[in-house]
Amino acid sequence: MFATANNMNNNDLHIAIVQQDIVWEDKKANFKRLEQLFKQITEYVDLVILPETFNTGFSPNALCLAEEPLGDTFVWMNKWAKKLGATIMGSWYVKENQEVYNRLCCVDSRGLAGHYNKRHTFRLSTEAQDVTRGNERTVIFINGWRICPFVCYDLRFPTWVRNHYANSCFDYDIAVYVANWPATRVKAWQRLLQARSIENQSYTIGVNRVGKDALDTPHSGSSMVVSPNGNAIHQLENDVECVRIFSLSHSNLDRYRKKYPFHLDWDDFIISNL
């Protein structure tokens, strides 16, 4: 039985991150696998975060795998958002207006709460040729928190993901990166997540898959939650499919920003939509 939102500390955000072993190009199998993992969510959560392309894996066949925006994957997410009483976040290939996007969607019980199209398509794969780059950042509002989602390769580009402070308000409190980040570059994954937290004075959450894909690329997971000072406050086991539930405190974030107001000396620029 899930607790209700009214029983929770309104200052905290309750999150479940799912470190998934993705079945290659098999949506139904991935849905079943995730439904089994969701059984581990036995308490109230506001947000459930899945890896990049959680329904198919990071396949070079994006053009064939792409769905309409409100296709089967959206319907499945909406059904489980209602069952869990939470917003679900994850990316998949979407076809819209004759373009294919690696689109991260946030879906709640009412439907689509917001979406973000991956800006930096991965040039070491066919994604850069087949998938259209996004040109807008998105901020999702959940229980008073500002959450800015990004996808995998975006992590390497600090200018695009830069937080901004104006009129006593930050663009975001949490940056989320969903990924299929290979094990061979896991040290970069960990260090970049820490760097993005420090330079943006935000929590950073990285959710990565585990397992070897059909291209023989291993993924170690190494999903983690990083505090604004760069410390990893939650780390999932390497090479293990699992779910981790945790809470983040807005009071702690506010105290840190007040004690270390580095944001008051940030260079004053805003990324224009491209």
In a domain, 6, yes or no: no
| Per-residue model confidence as pLDDT tens digits over 52-97 | 999 999 999 999 999 999 999 999 999 999 999 999 999 999 999 9
Which residues of 37-192 form beta strands (DSSP E)? 47-49, 87-96, 99-108, 111-117, 140-142, 145-151, 165-166, 169-170, 174-179
Give the integer Cα–Cα distance in Å for 77 and 82. Answer: 9
Residue 242 catalytic?
no
Q: Is 214 part of any domain? A: yes
- CB atoms < 10 A from the CB of 65, how many? 18
Note the pLDDT tens digit of each residue in 116-147: 999 999 999 999 999 999 999 999 999 999 99
Q: For the ranges 163-167, 236-240, 266-270, which has the lowest average pLDDT?
A: 266-270
| Residue where the block lists tokens 């935000």 | 202
Question: Percent of the chain beyond pLDDT 90?
Answer: 93
The domain total for the chain is: 1
pTM: 0.95
Residue 8 lies in a domain: no
Question: In the annotation, is 152 catalytic?
Answer: yes
- Rounded mean pLDDT of 163-181? 97
For residue 268, being part of any structural domain is answered with no
Whether residue 53 is contained in a domain is answered as yes
* Domain housing 236: 13-260
d(CA 2, CA 234) in angstroms, rounded, equals 22
Beta-strand relationship, 111-117 and 47-49: unpaired
Q: State the CATH number of the domain containing residue 211.
A: 3.60.110.10
The one catalytic residue among 95, 127, 152, 241: 152
Position 11 scores a pLDDT of 85
Residue 265 within a domain: no
| 195 within some domain | yes
Of 67, 95, 118, 127, the catalytic one is: 118
Catalytic residue among 27, 52, 95, 148: 52
Residue 129 belongs to a domain: yes
CA 193/CA 203 separation, integer angstroms: 10
Q: At residue 270, does pLDDT exceed 80?
A: no
Amino acid 271: pLDDT? 62
Active-site residue, 106 included: no
